[in-house]
């Protein structure tokens, strides 16, 4: 099995990610997150929000609607230009993205392909209560436009001044020609984006572009992503989106090759000009700000953090997820499930820790098996209540990565884990 197959199998087996609508044969490009997957994704989003909204004075948050007035997408240029080049096999009629196939040959049957034509990625929906009155709208193709259409609302309702940013996390939808590589290219996915507004000067925009590019790379590294698996790649002229004057990707070295993880874009005054929006500073000077954007995929982050964390050591499978991202922070076990006094004490410890942390309980099988099961889902610490506990109110804490064990007093446990998690 290659690494992608191992991650796919583990994700399903342990409740991280399931194929969407699986009992009806699935639905290409759609995925469901299980009990552990939703925790991983929530932890990624929580850390992202903390680093941008809570730790910075110059960034505020937003949660805009998924469906907007269709005029938004006409004005933003997406109806016209949010396209990928599509080719179709003349023999089997399978469709592909022209830039992902080689030598004009169908990857499925070897047949000849048609000339590329533009294929719009926006997903159409119909809104209204009567057949005649139904209006065509779009599921948002990027979460970004919700920020721009609220630019004036945010400026008018807060005390924020340029330079400032608006952060948003939410679902986006693209009718991708070929979804694939597990969740990497989905038709429904989540984005976490910062739109950072600066004065309309190329030098200032360039300075902030470099700042945000490095800040975003360092954020991934601070959460355990290996430096050697990350790199920057600047877009060539022909691959840049219609709104970007400059674009660089943070790429991840995935098993299927270096792949886009997050895009950093200089959108200049493209969007605010299109929406006819301006900013007035304290001196009454009016201008159209430029925008530096950082746009990351939550699903790609979840997939790449899983790939980056996957380790095999002898017969152990370990997800070495950063403790801040791990679904469960701690697992609590009674040494023996059939000793009432051990189970009672362990339930007390479990109940106490659950007040502040997401904690697992396990009393099946032997301790070794329980450790292995927790390693495989990335739980950083396991707590065992044994016979010594009943005498001295201490427990064994076992570390996932080193397997080292130490004894910690029950009344110090919560503080012990909080200290470890604050690093």
Q: What is the x/- site pattern for ligand GAP, positions 275-294, by CB under 6 A? A: ------------------x-
Q: Which spans in 20-166 are helix H? A: 35-49, 71-75, 78-81, 144-149, 151-157
- Beta-bridge partners for 207: none
Of the two residues 48 and 371, which places its CB atom closer to ligand GAP in the complex? 48
Number of residues that bind ligand GAP (CB under 6 A): 19
Which position among 41, 140, 213, 300 is part of the footprint of ligand GAP (CB under 6 A)?
A: 300
252 vs 371, which CB is nearer to ligand GAP? 252
- Give the CA angle between residues 136, 140, 144 to the nearest 5°: 140
Residue 297 binds ligand GAP (CB under 6 A): yes
213 part of the interface to ligand GAP, by CB under 6 A:
no
> Is 186 one of the binding residues for ligand GAP (CB under 6 A)?
yes
Q: Is 165 in the site for ligand GAP (CB under 6 A)?
A: no
Q: At 7, phi and psi to the nearest 5?
A: -65, -40
Which residues share a beta bridge with 248?
234, 264
Is 251 a binder of ligand GAP (CB under 6 A)? no
Residue 131's Cβ-count burial label (10 Å; 0-12, 13-18, 19+) is exposed
Looking at beta carbons only, is 97 or 320 nearer to ligand GAP? Answer: 97
Closest to ligand GAP by CB, 88 or 299: 299
Tokens encoding 230: 């990350």
Task: Please report, to the nearest 10 degrees, the dihedral formed by the alpha carbons of residues 352, 354, 359, 365 taken in order.
Answer: 50
Spatial separation of the C-alpha atoms in residues 165 and 167, rounded to whole Å: 6
297 contacts: CB under 8 Å, gap ≥ 6: 189, 190, 191, 192, 261, 262
Nearer to ligand GAP, 88 or 195 (CB): 195
Q: Is 334 in the site for ligand GAP (CB under 6 A)?
A: no
Q: Which is nearer to ligand GAP, 14 or 185 (CB)?
A: 185
Residue 229's alpha-carbon distances to 16, 225, 252, in angstroms, are: 22, 7, 5
Among 78, 174, 213, 370, binds ligand GAP (CB under 6 A): 174
Share of the chain residues as helix, strand and coil, in percent rounded to the nearest 5: 35, 30, 35
268 is a contact residue toward ligand GAP (CB under 6 A): no
End-to-end CA distance of the chain: 35
Nearer to ligand GAP, 142 or 269 (CB): 142
Min. distance of Cβ 55 from ligand GAP in angstroms?
Answer: 22
Candidate residues 189, 290, 310, 381; the one interacting with ligand GAP per rule CB under 6 A: 189
With CA atoms as reference, report the closest residue to 376 among 5, 14, 12, 9: 14
Nearest distance from residue 173's CB to ligand GAP, in Å? Answer: 9
39 binds ligand GAP (CB under 6 A): no
Tokens 């009992």, residue located = 23
Q: How many CB atoms lie under 10 A from the CB of residue 160?
A: 16
Q: How far is the CB of 14 from ligand GAP (least distance, A)?
A: 22
Asked whether the beta carbons of 154 and 167 are under 8 A apart, the reply is no
Q: Which stretch binds ligand GAP (CB under 6 A): 204-212, 255-263, 273-281, 330-338?
A: 255-263
Q: Does 146 bind ligand GAP (CB under 6 A)?
A: no
Contact region with ligand GAP (CB under 6 A), list: 201-209, 296-304, 337-345, 399-407: 296-304
Q: Closer CB to ligand GAP, residue 16 or residue 261?
A: 261
Q: In DSSP terms, which residues pair with 394 in a beta bridge?
A: 409
Query: Is 385 within 8 Å of 333 (Cβ atoms)?
Result: yes
- Interface residue with ligand GAP, options 248, 299, 375, 386 (CB under 6 A): 299
Binding site for ligand GAP (CB under 6 A): 142, 144, 174, 176, 185-186, 189, 191, 193, 260-263, 293, 295-297, 299-300
């Amino acid at each position: 099995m290659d690494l992608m197959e191992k991650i796919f199998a583990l994700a399903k087996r342990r409740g991280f990610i399931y194929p969407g609508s699986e009992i009806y044969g699935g639905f290409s490009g759609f995925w469901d997150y299980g009990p552990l997957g939703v925790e991983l994704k929530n932890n990624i989003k929580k850390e992202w929000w903390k680093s941008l909204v809570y730790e910075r004075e110059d960034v505020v948050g937003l949660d805009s609607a998924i469906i907007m007035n269709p005029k938004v997408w006409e004005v933003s240029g997406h109806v016209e230009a949010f396209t990928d080049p599509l080719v179709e096999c003349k023999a089997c009629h399978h469709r592909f993205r022209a830039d992902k196939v080689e030598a004009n040959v169908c990857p499925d049957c070897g047949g000849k392909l048609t000339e590329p034509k533009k294929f719009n990625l926006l997903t159409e929906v119909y809104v209204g209560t009567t057949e005649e009155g139904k209006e065509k709208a779009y599921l948002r193709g990027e979460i970004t436009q919700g920020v721009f259409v609220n630019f004036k609302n945010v400026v008018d309702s807060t005390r924020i001044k340029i330079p400032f940013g608006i952060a948003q996390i939410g679902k986006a939808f693209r009718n991708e020609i070929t979804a694939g590589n597990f969740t990497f290219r989905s038709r429904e996915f989540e984005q976490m984006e910062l739109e950072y507004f600066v004065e309309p000067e190329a030098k200032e925009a360039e300075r902030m572009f470099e700042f945000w590019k490095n800040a975003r790379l360092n954020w991934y590294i601070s959460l355990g992503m290996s430096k050697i698996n990350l790199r920057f790649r600047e877009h060539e002229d022909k691959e840049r989106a219609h709104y970007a004057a400059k674009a660089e990707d943070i790429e991840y070295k995935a098993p299927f090759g270096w792949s886009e993880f997050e895009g950093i874009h200089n959108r200049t005054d493209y969007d605010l000009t299109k929406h006819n929006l301006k900013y007035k500073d304290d001196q009454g000077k009016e201008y159209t700000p430029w925008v530096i954007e950082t746009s990351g995929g939550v699903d790609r982050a979840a997939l790449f953090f899983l790939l980056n964390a996957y380790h095999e050591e002898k017969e152990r499978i370990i997800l070495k997820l950063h403790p801040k991202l791990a679904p469960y922070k701690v697992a609590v076990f009674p040494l023996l499930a059939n000793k009432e006094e051990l189970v009672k004490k362990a339930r007390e410890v479990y109940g106490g820790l659950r007040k502040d942390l997401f904690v697992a309980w396990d009393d099946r099988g032997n301790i070794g098996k329980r450790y292995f099961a927790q390693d495989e889902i990335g739980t950083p610490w396991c707590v065992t209540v044994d016979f010594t506990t009943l005498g001295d109110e201490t427990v064994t804490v076992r570390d996932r990565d080193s397997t080292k064990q130490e004894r910690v007093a029950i009344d110090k446990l919560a503080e012990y884990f909080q200290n470890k998690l604050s690093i």
